[in-house]
Chains A and B, each alone.
Chain A
Amino acid sequence: MEGFEVARSENGGIAILYIKGYLDAHTAPDLENAFQQLVDSKKFSIVVNFRDLNYISSAGLGVFMGFIEDIRKNGGDIKLSNMKPKIYRVFDLLGFPTLYDILEEEEKAVEKFSRTQSKN
């Protein structure tokens, strides 16, 4: 069965979510819960590592749309990394790269947070 998993870790105060498998209308609530937990614990600097994600539909994209505004209002951001070309194409099709920082490597996304935070 095509499942979905989300694992959480932290790198220098920045929350990292590792998402794996298939993100669709059935599994999107799992990612929603993971974001909600981070927001509830006031963790607003978030990197989502897409390394092991094989599929995304608009229900999955909707989760990012649902949280980004609130997270940015709180001075944070959601940065995305390690996307397979197939996944990036879906983001690109909808113009999401203008709205989200999409980086090749998780480390670069984490560094970008550190740079922004040291400017403030």
Chain B
Amino acid sequence: MGKTPIKYRLKLPSQSDNLAVIRDLVTKVATQVGFSNDDVSKIELAVDEACANVIKHAYGSNSKKLIDVLIKVDAQKLMVVVTDKGKGFNPDDIKLPRMNEYLKEMRVGGLGIYLIETLMDKVNFDVRPGIRNQVKMIKYLNKPASASDAN
């Protein structure tokens, strides 16, 4: 792959049956770039979670709104940016749940952000409610040394 990143973009009505369409494109691109099946599954799930959050929470299942998914690939990484103009969320609320307590309380929902953070190598939330909310997720083809050293 050359130095110029390749971009794919989907703009779809914010409705849950489009999750399958989004997953389909993301898995095809990730497979083509050379990610292992395991990593492709992780990327697929993380992107699904980010988009499901937009559909359910940011737009409150209003299918007139559009969900914007940008996939960018270069020689080192795959980046997915999910953008919406909906309600957004308070970044303080997305602190990762302590799973033991979480499971003990048998809480429903709210696992999406935890999964995104766990499945991807780098995640960034830029939340400006009503203006533009963005989740940027990166998976490296070969994890940088610093990331694997940390484990």
A residues near B (Cβ < 8 Å) are 1-2, 22, 24-26, 55, 57-59, 61-62, 65-66, 68-69, 86, 89-90, 93-96, 98-99
- CB of B144 within 8 A of chain A? no
Q: A57-B48, A62-B109, A86-B41 are in contact. Are A93 and B118 (CB under 8 A)?
A: yes
Partner of B49, one of A22, A58, A68, A96: A58
B residues near A (Cβ < 8 Å) are 16-17, 19-20, 23-24, 38, 41, 44-45, 48-49, 52, 55-56, 99-100, 103, 106-109, 111-112, 114-115, 118-119
Q: A2-B24, A94-B99, A95-B99 are in contact. Are A58 and B115 (CB under 8 A)?
A: yes
Count: A-B pairs, CB below 8 Å: 68
Contact (Cβ within 8 A) B111 A61: yes
Contact (Cβ within 8 A) B106 A57: no
Q: Tell me which residues across on chain B come within 8 A of A65, comparing CB atoms.
A: 106-109
Cα–Cα, bound, A95→B100 (Å): 8
Nearest to A56 among chain B residues (CB) is: B45
Majority-rule SS of A interface residues: helix
Q: B35 CB to closest chain A CB, in angstroms?
A: 14
Q: Tell me which residues across on chain A come within 8 A of B38, comparing CB atoms.
A: 89
Contact (Cβ within 8 A) B111 A1: no
A–B complex contacts, Cβ < 8 Å, 24 sampled: A24-B16, A24-B20, A25-B16, A25-B52, A25-B56, A26-B19, A26-B20, A57-B52, A57-B112, A58-B111, A58-B115, A65-B106, A65-B107, A65-B108, A66-B108, A89-B38, A89-B41, A90-B45, A93-B115, A93-B119, A94-B111, A94-B115, A98-B103, A99-B103
